[in-house]
Each structure stands twice: as C-alpha cells, then as structure tokens.
Structure 1
Amino acid sequence: MTSIAIVTGASSGIGAATARRLAAEGFHVLAAARRVERLDALVREITAAGGAATAVACDITSDESVAGLAAAADRLPHPVTLLVNNAGGARGMDPVASGSVADWQWMYEVNVLGTLRVTQAVLPLLDASGAGTVVVISSTAGLVVYEGGGGYTAAKHGQTALAETLRLELCGRPVRVIEIDPGMVRTDEFSLLRYGGDAEKAAAVYRGVPEPLVAEDVADCVAWCATRPQHVNIDRLVVRPLAQAAQHKVHRVE
C-alpha cells in the first residue's frame, strides 16, 4: 500500500536527494520547503521517473505554515508513515566570545524549533497510521563540539536531545524515532550559507578531502533506516566519509 513520506528542506541538497530516493522506494513524497519553484521542478523530475510527489510551500519557522503542511498531508488519500526532519542549517564560524546572537537564534529556530513544530503537527498522522517513523537529520556536531562551531553545535545538540526525549515519550506507541548524524557532506548550499555566501571559504572546507559524503549518501541512509521492519528502530546512525575519522581528524591530499 502506498504511504506518504514528508520531507522538509526538500528544495536542495540532502532534502531533495531524500525525496528522490524515497519516491524510488515507493513512497508518495510530500516535498516541503520555502522555494516553491524548486519544489515544482523536483516533483516534475520524480513524476517523470515514475514516482509520486506533491510540493507544499512550508516555512518551518511559522506555526501557521507548518499547520498547512500537516493539513495538506492529511488531505492525500494515503496514510502518513514517515516524516524526515531535514530542514536546518548553520550560520557563522565565530567564537563564542564574539558570536552573533542573531545567528545563534536563527540556528536554534530552524534546527530545533523547526523540528519541534513539524513533529508536533505531523505526529497525530503518524500515530494514526499504526506504523509511523520520525527521522531527525542532526549532525555529528550534535555529538561533539569544536572551535568556531558553538552556535551550530548547541543547536544540533538540542536537536539530538529532542530526538532522544521523543523516543522515550513515544515508547509503547507505533512510532519509531531515528536520528541520523552525518559528518562532512558536500552540498551546494550548506557551507555557502555558513560563510555568508563566500564561495572561497565554502570550497576550502572540502579542499583536499578525497571523497566527502554527498547528499545521495545520506538519502541512502534515510531510506535504509525507514524501510527496516517496523519493529526495528535504528536509534542513531552516524555516517562519515572514510577520510573523516572524527570531527577534528580529516585526511586531505595536496
């Protein structure tokens, strides 16, 4: 039976790759993001490949917009069985002593409160399906801190705490909670946003790294976790490229 997978932040990067992969797995994907023109192009691509997808404009920092997302999902003629909380991001690499409060607020709003809003709105639908799954795309930054990453690691630690708490609170109900923590992933926008559009600084993050992860690698992890038998819960999946042994240990070549 066809079921619905909601993917936030689906207009680019990991979100778009996840939408494509889940459609290929047989889900009807509800692709959510602010940039509707990109979503429309993604839906056309998925449909042309034989999949099923619907675009929904959604700003995860808005209660009203998120309520509209849940309502759109509820109107589709299939049960909602999967939510992928992918939308998020980083801003700045300033030390704590001089970090921008506005940047910290934005990162907490998008990564933590955005996940909270969407999960709260969609949880009744997942519960009603009898076989729901919540996936939280956090980061290895939610497990280990590093210099210059105070705001982002604080937000990702918060997102990890949300996922762990939710799993405890849903014990006994038919909803799994899965946390996926990628390390170094090269996408078109993540580092560019973090460095305020400075393409040179963004490129330097990956310079010399033989093969950083790409969005499709994370999408593969999402699909694998989500398609395990319902009694199997992958609590946490940490995924890094071979070149990254730890947050501070990255092999680079000249």
Structure 2
Amino acid sequence: MTTTALVTGANKGLGRETVRRLAARGWEVFLAARDEERGRTAVAELAGSGLAVRFVALDVTSDESVASAASQVKAAVGRLDVLVNNAGVGGEDGPPAEARVAGLRELFEVNVFGPIRVTNAFLPLLREAASPRIVMVSSGMGSFAVARDPRWFDLVPPGLGYPASKAALNMITVQYGRALDGIRINAVDPGFTATDLNDHRGYQTLAEGTDAIIRLAGADGPTGGFFDRKGPVPW
C-alpha cells in the first residue's frame, strides 16, 4: 500500500523540498498551498520528474479551506499516513517594546492556530492509517534553552512574534503527543536554512533543512520530541 502524505505551505522552500523528497520515496504526496497558481506550478514541475504529487488548495487560516482540503484527500485516498505542518510566516522584526498586537495576531494565526486547525481537521484521516505521524515544523528560536544561551545573544536579537509562536507550537506538539494515542507527533528545527523567510541568508541547503522532517516522517521513531538534523533539541 502506497504511503500518503500532505505538506502545508509547500509551493516553495522547505515545504516543496519535503514534498519532493517524500515523493521520491514512492509516496503519494499532496502539495498543499494557499496560492493556487504557485502550488499548481510546483506540482507540474515535480510531476514532470515522474513524482506522484497532487495539488490541494489549503489556507491554514481558513476553517472552510482546511475542511475542503481534508474532504478532497478523503475522496482521493481515504486516509493520511503523514501530515507535515510546514506553513509559517516570519512576521515583523523589531524589539519587543515596538511589537504591534495586530502583527502578532496575524503571525499566530498562521504559525500557531494554523497547525491546530489543520491537525484537527485531518485527525479522522490519520486515524485511518496503520502508523500515522505528524511533523510540526518549528524552530530553534522557539527553544527556551537556546533563547537563554549567551552564545546566541549577538546573533539573534530579542523579538516577540516568531520565537513566541514557535515556542507555542512546541508546547502544542507536547500536548498532542500526550493526547493522541497511536499517532506519533514531533517538532522539528530545520536549522538556519536558506529560504525566503530569512532572505536566503541561511547557511544550510534545503536538503539539509529537511533532513529531520524526512526522518521523522518515516514509519518508525519517537514521539513527543523536538529534533534537528543532528538529534534532540532542548526545549
């Protein structure tokens, strides 16, 4: 039986590379994206390489869009083995004292409420799989240990939105891990990877940035943890 997977925010960057690598394993992968034109273009490019990839429109901030995507996957394959919650935004830069509540609310809608909305909508399909797993794409910036490490102070200035949203996602992962019996769920730190989110300043390639995602999307492994490509990451 072919393994099925869905990756959100997958028309570019880490999401697209995750789709490519999973499909290269012979999996049937749904490339989910908010922008239909870009999503379909990405699918056409990947399918042109002989990969089994399908497009599904999915805006993680919309209940209706997420429900529609879940219905399409159900009609197409009847189950979902792997869900990768990758969609995310960087939000506004700047010191905490200058943070705008409106900007934080927009960021949390994607980075925090989005994964909850998508996970809950796809749980019935995940429960139809023999070995379901969920990967939450988080960040080392959401680690309290990293945030308090003086070695990073000069490299990562204090900010509220993005780090707080990823710290929240980490706790969400832990709580789902406790509650979802039979479903493995883990958070992943891709590391400083060259993507649009950091204006391609990252020193890691997309392949390196997706290593942990691909590993934890596999059939065997831990649950309720936080990992990068080298191993466990401190909370």
Q: What is the DSSP-based 3-state SS (H/G/I as helix, E as strand, rest coil) of the residue aligned with 2:189?
A: strand
How far off its partner does 1:78 sit? 5.3
Whether 2:158 is the aligned partner of 1:148: answer yes
How far off its partner does 1:228 sit? 4.1
Q: What is the DSSP-based 3-state SS (H/G/I as helix, E as strand, rest coil) of the residue aligned with 1:177?
A: strand
Quick one: distance in 1 between partners of 2:162 and 2:173? 17
Matched letter for residue 190 of structure 1: L
* Alignment correspondent of 2:188: 180
Q: What is the DSSP-based 3-state SS (H/G/I as helix, E as strand, rest coil) of the residue aligned with 2:87?
A: coil
Segments of 5+ residues of structure 1 without an aligned counterpart are 192-201, 207-211, 241-245, 247-254
* Alignment correspondent of 2:87: 87
Decide which moves more: 65-74 or 40-49.
40-49
Segments of 5+ residues of structure 2 without an aligned counterpart are 148-155
Q: Is the 8 A contact 1:30 1:53 kept in 2?
A: yes
After superposition, the Cα gap between the structure-2 partners of 1:12 and 1:228, relative to the gap in structure 1 and judged at 3 Å, is same
Alignment partner for residue 159 of structure 1, among 140, 160, 169? 169
Q: Is the 8 A contact 2:7 2:32 kept in 1?
A: yes
Whether 2:22 is the aligned partner of 1:19: answer no
How far off its partner does 1:50 sit? 1.8
Deviations 1:10-56 (CA, angstroms, capped at 9, x unpaired) = 01110011111110012111111111122112212222222211111
Q: Is the 8 A contact 2:82 2:126 kept in 1?
A: yes
- Over the matched positions of the two proteins, sequence identity in percent amounts to 35
* Alignment correspondent of 1:50: 50
Quick one: distance in 2 between partners of 1:117 and 1:111? 11
Quick one: distance in 1 between partners of 2:208 and 2:78? 28
How far off its partner does 1:149 sit? 2.2
How far off its partner does 1:123 sit? 1.1
Q: TM-score, normalised by structure 1?
A: 0.81
Ranges of 4+ aligned residues in structure 1 off by more than 4 Å: none
* Alignment correspondent of 1:118: 118
* Alignment correspondent of 1:233: 222
How far off its partner does 1:177 sit? 0.3
* Alignment correspondent of 1:252: none
Q: What is the DSSP-based 3-state SS (H/G/I as helix, E as strand, rest coil) of the residue aligned with 1:184?
A: coil
Q: What is the DSSP-based 3-state SS (H/G/I as helix, E as strand, rest coil) of the residue aligned with 1:128?
A: coil
Quick one: distance in 2 between partners of 1:17 and 1:186? 12
Q: Is the 8 A contact 1:89 1:110 kept in 2?
A: yes
Matched letter for residue 162 of structure 1: I
How far off its partner does 1:233 sit? 1.6
Matched letter for residue 159 of structure 1: L
Quick one: distance in 1 between partners of 2:38 and 2:207? 18
Quick one: distance in 1 between partners of 2:33 and 2:89? 13
Which structure shows the bigger proportion of residues in strand conformation? 1
Q: TM-score, normalised by structure 2?
A: 0.87
Q: Is the 8 A contact 2:211 2:229 kept in 1?
A: no
Q: Is the 8 A contact 1:3 1:78 kept in 2?
A: no
Quick one: distance in 2 between partners of 1:6 and 1:119? 11
How far off its partner does 1:83 sit? 0.2
After superposition, residues 42-81 of structure 1 pair within 5 angstroms as 42-77=42-77, 79-81=79-81
How far off its partner does 1:140 sit? 0.3
Q: What is the DSSP-based 3-state SS (H/G/I as helix, E as strand, rest coil) of the residue aligned with 2:81?
A: strand
Deviations 1:82-125 (CA, angstroms, capped at 9, x unpaired) = 00000011122211111122221111111100000000001111
How far off its partner does 1:239 sit? 4.0
Quick one: distance in 1 between partners of 2:106 and 2:222? 31
* Alignment correspondent of 1:169: 179
Q: Is the 8 A contact 2:189 2:227 kept in 1?
A: yes
